[in-house]
């Protein structure tokens, strides 16, 4: 389902449009999909993202776009204008601009554009909610299992530069200034860069990705956390949501004792080692607090409970808790609409109303 169904190529910046069947639609709501994939993979051409079903069933115009991922979309070197960082997000914004200018020709209403995405796509949606220059190009937003303030979605410019420089060394581009480094990287085969991307992460961890959006002071004027807390975002209607077992997928990629070939019934030792990978920035006191919170102390050696606790730890830290914080902070700065109760159908009685 997630494997590419097209030949991979750097000639990739296309978008797709689906419209409901005849009669020719006019002024329909528009939904623009941004795929996930940890900012290192993904494609709008995957069968699971086929927009025809949504367009047909909901009578909306559906749009999806490709954007550059990995080092191709998020390499950042402040000494080179050719590698400013966040060009993958700029690809998305350009698609949103295209929608504003051209969607009326497909029967869509440019004033009714909802952007929605999942995982890194949800984080991308949130970054457009934050980015001042993106705000005019959509109306509403839906974030599914991903928000911009999650710990894996952004890095500082210093960390982005460290990763870019290390990637250069790994592929033999270690000499010269930033401009020369970019020129050298451009002359490498794309697959060579892809093969080395994962080597630039600073530590062994779960749910972390090599090249992601950077706090550049332009697309993102400040950290997502600071912008959310200060109310520096687009004021509109948003929808957010998570799923059960948000951490389970990522446990298969390195968590001790986990494997797709068995039930991953892990030992207590595997659990304790996995906690260190699941919360890599925590000190010893923090690790002890996590272990205390997520352990069933009446049955601490139960392999199934240890497995499920690891799922909860990784899912809570990387998806659920950041999303809840985003929702609470957003609500504090915007008006809250509630559904009033239905009027009484029976007359009130004194003492029983």
Which tens digit of pLDDT belongs to each residue from 173-188? 987 899 999 999 999 9
**What's the confidence (pLDDT) of residue 187?**
95
133-157 mean pLDDT: 98
**CATH 3.40.50.1820 placement within the chain:** 15-241
259-287 mean pLDDT: 93
**What's the confidence (pLDDT) of residue 350?**
39
Residue 40 binned pLDDT confidence (cut-offs 50, 70, 90): very high
Q: How far is CA 145 from the centre of its chain?
A: 8
Statement: residue 352 has pLDDT above 50: no
**What's the confidence (pLDDT) of residue 292?**
97
Statement: residue 87 has pLDDT above 70: yes
pLDDT tens digits for range 90-117: 999 999 999 999 999 999 999 999 999 9
**What's the confidence (pLDDT) of residue 341?**
54
Residues 6+ apart with CB under 8 A from 256: 266, 269, 270, 273, 274, 277
**What's the confidence (pLDDT) of residue 25?**
79
**What's the confidence (pLDDT) of residue 349?**
41
Q: Which of 279, 282, 267, 274 is nearest to 251 (CA)?
A: 274
Residue 59 binned pLDDT confidence (cut-offs 50, 70, 90): very high
Residues 6+ apart with CB under 8 A from 42: 35, 36, 69, 120, 121
149-160 mean pLDDT: 96
**What's the confidence (pLDDT) of residue 192?**
96
**What's the confidence (pLDDT) of residue 302?**
97
CA distances 112 to 15, 61, 139, Å, are 19, 10, 6
Least confident window among 194-198, 254-258, 348-352: 348-352
Statement: residue 2 has pLDDT above 80: no
Residue 353 binned pLDDT confidence (cut-offs 50, 70, 90): very low
Q: What is the CATH number of domain 15-241?
A: 3.40.50.1820
The vertex-22 CA angle with 18 and 24, nearest 5°, equals 80
**What's the confidence (pLDDT) of residue 342?**
56
78-94 mean pLDDT: 93
């Amino acid at each position: 389902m997630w494997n590419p169904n097209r030949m991979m190529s750097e000639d990739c910046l296309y978008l797709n449009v689906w419209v409901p069947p005849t009669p020719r639609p006019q002024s329909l709501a528009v939904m623009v999909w941004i795929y996930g994939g940890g900012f290192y993979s993904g494609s709008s051409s995957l069968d699971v993202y086929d927009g025809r079903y949504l367009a047909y069933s909901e009578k909306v115009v559906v749009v999806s776009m490709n954007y550059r991922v990995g080092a191709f979309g998020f390499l950042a070197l402040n000494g080179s204008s050719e590698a400013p960082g966040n060009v993958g997000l700029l690809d998305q914004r350009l698609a949103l601009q295209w929608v504003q200018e051209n969607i009326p020709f497909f029967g869509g209403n440019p004033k009714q554009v909802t952007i929605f995405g999942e995982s890194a796509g949800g984080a991308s949606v949130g970054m457009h909610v934050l980015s001042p220059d993106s705000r005019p190009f959509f109306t509403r937003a839906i974030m599914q299992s991903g928000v911009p303030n999650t710990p894996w979605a952004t890095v500082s410019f210093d960390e982005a530069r460290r990763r870019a420089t290390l990637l250069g060394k790994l592929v033999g581009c270690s000499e010269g200034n930033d401009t020369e480094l970019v020129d050298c990287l451009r002359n490498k085969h794309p697959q060579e860069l892809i093969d080395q991307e994962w080597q630039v992460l600073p530590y062994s961890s779960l749910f972390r990705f090599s090249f992601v959006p950077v706090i550049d002071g332009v697309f993102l004027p400040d950290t997502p956390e600071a912008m959310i807390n200060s109310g520096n975002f687009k004021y509109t209607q948003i929808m957010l949501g998570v799923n059960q077992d948000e951490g389970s997928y990522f446990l298969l990629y390195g968590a001790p004792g986990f494997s797709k070939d068995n039930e991953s019934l892990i030992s207590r030792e595997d659990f304790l080692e996995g906690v260190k990978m699941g919360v890599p920035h925590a000190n010893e006191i923090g690790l002890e607090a996590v272990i205390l919170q997520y352990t069933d102390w009446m049955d601490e050696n139960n392999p199934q409970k240890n497995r499920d606790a690891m799922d909860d730890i990784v899912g809570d830290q990387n998806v659920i808790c950041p999303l809840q914080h985003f929702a609470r902070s957003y609500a504090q700065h915007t008006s809250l609409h509630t559904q009033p109760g239905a009027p009484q159908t029976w007359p009130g009685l004194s003492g029983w109303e």
